[in-house]
Amino acid sequence: WLIDVTADKLYYQHDRVLGGVKAFIDHNGRRVDRMKLSMESPTAASAEIMPVAGGRRMTVDVSNFGALLSQLAITEMLAGGHALFEGHFDDTQETSPFRGHLKLSPFTIQHAPGALLVARSLSIYGWLDAKNPASFDVTRFEMPVTFADGVMHIHDGRAGNEALGATLEGPVYLDRGTLDLSGTIVPVFAINEIPGKIPALGKLFSPEKGGGLLAVKFKLDGKIDTPNFSVSPLTIFLPGLLRNMF
């Protein structure tokens, strides 16, 4: 089947609308072979799927990722952020698994969880530069991902700002709307990782990639729209080798 639509307004719920929508979707009965989507509001965004050797290439570009997530009623936690998502479907396999990479320009986590704000305060840059005590600015965000059978896995994700760096990995169950992520928060990223580079002692202080002498393990799980954020306080002052035991 084939869809070719141009609409000034496209209602996907009785009170929710997308503006300036253009959509071309070519479906072969099993999967989308080609797709071109674009919209003008609530933010400029485009998505494309095109055939390439051995599969299909997908590119998604969203000018204001936070505005789109809010309009789609996914979450109100993010403000701003230019999102670029690129990847490839491997159609040589029956399930056409996807591998890609998400990059976000600076954005703000609004009403940030208390544990995250406490972690920010571990860095002198964090409490000197905190413009809004209840929010958290993220200046770098990169997430390599794979997707198959309704589950998106984050692999060695990186996020942070001048105060904190964080690693992130784990599954996001899109069909269920839940996630089960874990990672490490490292205050003052560059300075803190120096002990991990000391010959012979480096692995003791920082066995995890992106870790450091002062770090804390965390979990982000539950519903995607209202996730639970928790830290393991016993890991804050432990050398890296011992952090992995908690």
Is 60 exceeded by the pLDDT of residue 67? yes
Query: Could you give the 3-state DSSP secondary structure of residue 40?
Result: coil
The per-residue pLDDT for 46 is 97
Q: What are phi and psi of 40, to 5 degrees?
A: -110, -25
Least confident of 115-119, 173-177, 200-204, 223-227: 200-204
The per-residue pLDDT for 225 is 77
Q: Can you name the residues that pair with 146 across neighbouring β-strands?
A: 99, 153
Per residue in 104-156, pLDDT tens? 999 888 876 655 555 555 554 444 455 555 677 888 899 999 998 889 999 98
Query: Could you give the 3-state DSSP secondary structure of residue 120?
Result: helix
Strands 227-231 and 216-223: antiparallel
Per residue in 155-176, pLDDT tens? 989 888 777 778 889 999 988 8
Task: State how far the Cα of 195 lies from the Cα of 153, in Å rounded to an integer.
Answer: 30
Band (pLDDT 50/70/90 cuts) for residue 226 is confident
Per residue in 6-56, pLDDT tens? 999 998 888 889 999 999 999 998 899 999 999 999 999 999 999 999 999
The per-residue pLDDT for 116 is 57
Query: Could you give the 3-state DSSP secondary structure of residue 176?
Result: coil
